[in-house]
Amino acid sequence: MSLLTRTDVTAVKIYNQYILAGIGSNVEIFNRDSEKYMQKICTLRGQKIYGIVPSRCFSKLLVFGGKQFTVLTLNDASELEDNCDLLLRETEPLVCDDWIHSGIWLSNDKVALLSAHNIVQIWNSVTQTLEDQYINKENSILYSGLLLKLQDDILVFSGTVFSEVILHLCYAKKSIHYLKGHKGVIFSISCEPEKNIIVTTSDDRSVRVWTINSSNFNYKSKAYWENAKINCLYELYGHTARVMRSCIADDYIISIGEDSRICFWNYQGMLLRKLESHQNACLWSLDTDNKYLVTGGGDCGVILHPLTLVTEYSHKEIITDVLSPKKVDFTARKNIVIMTERNEIIYYNLNAKSSTVYELNHTSTYKLLSVSSCKQIIAVVDMNGKLDIFIENCKKDEISRVIDTTLTLGKILSLQWAGNRHLVLCSDNGNITILASKQNEFEVLQTFLLPPSKERWLTASGISVENKILAVSDRCGHIYIYGFGIKEPLKTFKKVHGKYGATSITIKHNEIITTGRDGSVKYFTYSNESTKYMMAKNLEFQWVEKFLDKEENFVCGFQERTFIVFDLKNNLKLIEVNCGGGHRSWDAVRYFDKVNGYYGEFIKLMYIKNSSLNVELFQLRKITSANIINGTHSKEINCLKTFKNISEIFFISGGEDTTLRISSSNSNVTFKEKANFKQLSSIRTLKTFSLDKNKVLLVSAGGRAQICAKIIIFQTDTNKIMCEEIIDYQIKGTDKERNRNWKNRSIDFDPETRIMDLEISKIDEFNFLINAACSDAVLRIFELKLDEKSMNMVQEIKYHKTCILKTNLFRISNRNVLVTTTTRGFVAFWEINTKIVEIPIFETKTNKSGINCIDIKVIDDNRFLLATGGDDNAIHLVLLQFNEFNSIEVIYSWSSDKFHCSQITGLKIIDNLMISTSIDERITLLKWSANIDIKCEFISQSYSDVPDIQGLDIIDTLSDSIVVCVFGKGVEVIKLSKPMQV
């Protein structure tokens, strides 16, 4: 029984107030307005769903995919009793003799289906019988198709492999039109007869819009189409890869593609808007109800987009009556404070379009403007120390000067507010002074000394009076932590955000969060006068400036010339504005305001461009997409481990999209991402080692000879995770380290190896051995030191002749034994001590070719069972025994290739049961016993909806069942029933 399925979303449908998603062979239904999950129903048997077609007059749904179709009934939610299902399946899936491309309702009990060989079949859904079929003379293989019901016939649109669309009448058995022009196979066909247009998409990256000219006939009649003239009106290019689907809305033509883009076109062929969605994965499906657009992608996610984002994206205003603006900031009342080049401050009222000028008696032209976190207090200081403080009136649109003084701190080079009360200044000699506001005065709270550097001033600062610490960043990229009363820094973090300083520092509770121009948000923890770097969150844009909310979810910055607001929690890009880039004065605020009786969320952006002040307002409800189903990996998952606590299951996964993700599920529906880490290349393997009850050491590795180690803490009270990054290690060194001695650098012809698998063994509390199997046939041993956050290679073993695919570590008779397997089917056993002997203690050949999975079951003090599966489609069981003089002998071996029809990628032994899985998407439960010989018998087999399965992991073992997780192009949690009296 499938408990949770997350794989490619190949069909979506908006029907009344519901969103239906075809995920694998299941249909999941959600409420469109509340985004709430309603129900999941198993619809087909082992086939992906590619179409959901509602009937017009009845609450029936035709669902098809592969060679199967069935009919669902959608009940009225208001009439349902408790514990009654919203969706019911009327019939078991019916199997056709060909792939189904399209389907329509002809009546309440009849459906028409178009097959991949251009055959139309008429089925009775009640009697489940094939009543008739029509074979067209154009017997071409179809990549797509569309059926349109007419009054006296069925119109068939056939998208062929020959780059043309054939229109023919089903009953008349004749072709009436050939639409030519595409230079690739036809991927989708959409038609809106009322608007007289046909839209086709192809793998030639184009969208073609065809116009239908046929007068004096009803479009539902056969004569309309027989006498029509169909011409290509527009050939549209907005995608950089294959265009998968399109749909026609009242005002737009919408297309989606393999490049993860959504393109909105008007009927004049103009590209109105282009969105990138679903984490750069292929978009497979879409549907619209003219108010919303729903898309399903290869990242296993479903996203709801409001169509108002096309026309009501922002409200822009250009202010030209302010001369020579130099620095701008928003105030608490959403007005603007402007510092000009004419020694004055202007308070601009956005609603009244009026301005008030305040003279500044500053002698230096180098002036700094900073606004407090509450946006109510404005500070202006010049290089000579002349300081003015203005406060905005809470009830009126005005500001008043409360402080006008001159500081004697030397030349002032930087000015920042740290919160609402503390002003941080840095002078030319590196002196940091914190001024604390007290009514209408300032007093010196603390002074510190910035270490010498080339550019000795601050770019950002944060303060915590409770913890009595100050965190600052200088222009060289370092972050310094100071304790109150101590002038020198307590801790220094070098080049945290590259060679530039941090752009913002936030201290919240015991956490320090920084942003910078290296495309990352970095997290530190502070406790017991000790600050520790924890982790980094990498974003899609380089210049990360600051957070717009107190929860640190909305972060803004720049990607070249484009201003971006990004939602960290939902992993969504909210706003994109081409403003020219961040090297200009700008500001952005997020706030709530009342609109039509309801409070809405707004973001306001202001920037100087062409000497004018530009203000843009965004109402998030109209432009923000919502995750109906949260996405995960955009490509195959290569490795996965699960961790179960009382309330949640955590999934730690790594894949071909170079990301390591930690996700959680507390029911059969939710699958939320908790953390996301980037590596240089694909992640091939990850292993965990338990350090405490809710604390594990996580080591991941893969391409570019990279090994990353982290400590993960699962906080059961808050359902959050904490992550501490230990080391990011490359065998040949990083690019920077290799390029450092460029004068003596030689050309390296050896490519970087891939880490195929690894094992963790413990030396003591803080030291571990990492045994890494590499693609260059070398077994490398590393020592990981947690307290020093270091890793070094201690041994290289060059015994194998081909790539090492898998490893396994087990303990028997007080020995730690490492197992390695290769692409030639050999299995080698090594005894793990402080150093491994260069030759294995035993080697045997089990498989004919590469071994993809391995598991060990220790039977007694000397005997153990070895299970392997590989490219020869066979499961091999070998009973081995340790003898005297540290030797191993084979007692008995057994193998079978009857259980799977393709490569076996996962094997797990639980007591006297064994579970296997394969590329063929089957999960097999077997029962084994071993005494002198080995017996293995088949128990059951189930199908998974996850394609290209790469492995499995055991989540839980119950008295009557086993809960497993298979992974590949997605994730599925399946509950397998144990046999009786096991």
Helices first, then strands: H and E counts in the chain: 4, 85
Q: What is the pLDDT of residues 212-269, one digit of tens each?
A: 998 778 899 999 999 999 999 999 999 999 999 999 999 999 999 999 999 999 999 9
* pLDDT over 60 at 766, yes or no: yes
CA distance 60 to 49: 16
User: Using an 8 Å Cβ cutoff, are 12 and 287 in contact?
Assistant: yes
Q: From 696, 692, 699, 695, select the one nearest 677 (Cα to Cα).
A: 699
CATH architecture, domain defined by 9-95: Beta Barrel (2.40)
Q: From 445, 449, 414, 415, select the one nearest 429 (Cα to Cα).
A: 449
Pull the structure tokens for residue 511. Answer: 């956490």
Q: What is the pLDDT of residues 383-427, one digit of tens each?
A: 999 999 999 998 888 899 999 999 989 999 999 999 888 999 999
Pull the structure tokens for residue 115. Answer: 């097959």
Helix (H) or strand (E) holding 141: none
C-alpha distances in Å from residue 205, one per residue of 236, 252, 296, 406:
9, 19, 19, 65
CA distance 290 to 247: 11
Q: What are the DSSP E strand ranges found in 477-561?
A: 479-483, 491-493, 504-508, 511-515, 520-527, 530-538, 543-547, 554-559
* pLDDT over 90 at 563, yes or no: yes
CA distance 875 to 936: 10
User: Using an 8 Å Cβ cutoff, are 60 and 90 in contact?
Assistant: yes
User: Using an 8 Å Cβ cutoff, are 296 and 283 in contact?
Assistant: yes
pLDDT at 799: 94
Pull the structure tokens for residue 540. Answer: 């899609």
* pLDDT over 70 at 736, yes or no: no
Alpha-carbon dihedral sign for residues 235, 238, 241, 244: negative
Q: What is the pLDDT of residues 536-553, one digit of tens each?
A: 999 989 999 999 999 899
Alpha-carbon dihedral sign for residues 274, 279, 283, 288: negative
User: Using an 8 Å Cβ cutoff, are 505 and 531 in contact?
Assistant: no
The C-alpha angle 16, 155, 14, rounded to 5 degrees, equals 15
What does the mean pLDDT of the chain come to? Answer: 92
Q: Which residues pair with 938 in a beta bridge?
A: 926
Pull the structure tokens for residue 813. Answer: 């008779």
Q: What is the pLDDT of residues 59-83, one digit of tens each?
A: 899 999 999 999 999 988 777 766 7
C-alpha distances in Å from residue 444, one per residue of 401, 407, 448, 584:
20, 11, 11, 32
The C-alpha angle 623, 624, 627, rounded to 5 degrees, equals 150
Q: Which residues pair with 675 in a beta bridge?
A: 662
First to last CA, the chain: 19
CA distance 884 to 176: 84
Q: What is the pLDDT of residues 607-657, one digit of tens each?
A: 999 889 999 999 999 999 999 999 999 999 999 999 988 778 999 999 999
Residues sharing a CB contact under 8 Å with residue 80, sequence separation 6 or more, in sequence order: 86
pLDDT band at 982 (very low <50, low <70, confident <90, very high): very low
Percent of the chain with pLDDT over 90: 77
What pTM, to 2 d.p., does this model score? 0.92
User: Using an 8 Å Cβ cutoff, are 684 and 699 in contact?
Assistant: no
Q: Would you kindly state where each structural domain of the chain is located, as residue ranges? A: 9-95
* pLDDT over 70 at 740, yes or no: no
C-alpha distances in Å from residue 955, one per residue of 3, 642, 665, 843, 966:
12, 6, 12, 32, 10
* pLDDT over 90 at 595, yes or no: no
Q: What is the pLDDT of residues 894-933, one digit of tens each?
A: 999 999 999 999 999 999 999 999 999 999 999 999 988 9
Q: Long-range pairs for 547-556 at CB < 8 Å and ≥24 separation?
A: 547/504, 547/506, 547/513, 547/515, 548/588, 548/589, 548/590, 548/603, 549/590, 552/506, 552/508, 552/513, 554/590, 554/603, 555/515, 555/521, 556/588
CA distance 911 to 925: 12
How far is CA 617 from its chain centroid? 28
* pLDDT over 70 at 330, yes or no: yes
List b or e across 358-393, with b for residues whose CB sees 16 or more CB atoms inside 10 angstroms: bebebeeeebbbbbbeebbbbbbbbbbbbbbbbbbe
Which position has the token pair 């990229």?
477
Q: From 524, 469, 521, select the one nearest 493 (Cα to Cα).
A: 524
pLDDT at 671: 85
Residues sharing a CB contact under 8 Å with residue 884, sequence separation 6 or more, in sequence order: none
CA distance 393 to 402: 12
Which position has the token pair 């990352």?
520
C-alpha distances in Å from residue 678, one per residue of 463, 573, 657, 689, 708:
30, 18, 9, 21, 10
pLDDT at 829: 96
The mean per-residue pLDDT over the stretch 573-601 comes to 90
Count of positions (residues) in the chain: 982
Q: Strand order in 302-306's β-sheet? A: 283-288, 292-297, 302-306, 626-629
- By CB neighbour count within 10 A (0-12 exposed, 13-18 middle, 19+ buried), where does 858 fall? middle
The mean per-residue pLDDT over the stretch 824-828 comes to 96
* pLDDT over 80 at 280, yes or no: yes
Residues sharing a CB contact under 8 Å with residue 743, sequence separation 6 or more, in sequence order: none
CA distance 879 to 894: 9
Three-class DSSP labels, 14-55: EECCEEEEEECCEEEEEECCCCCEEEEEECCCCCCCCEEEEC
Q: From 24, 19, 1, 21, select the one nearest 11 (Cα to Cα).
A: 21
- The alpha helices in 772-845, defined as continuous H runs, are none
Q: What is the pLDDT of residues 162-211, one digit of tens each?
A: 999 999 999 887 889 999 999 999 999 999 999 999 999 999 999 999 99
8-state DSSP, 511 = E
The C-alpha angle 280, 286, 290, rounded to 5 degrees, equals 125
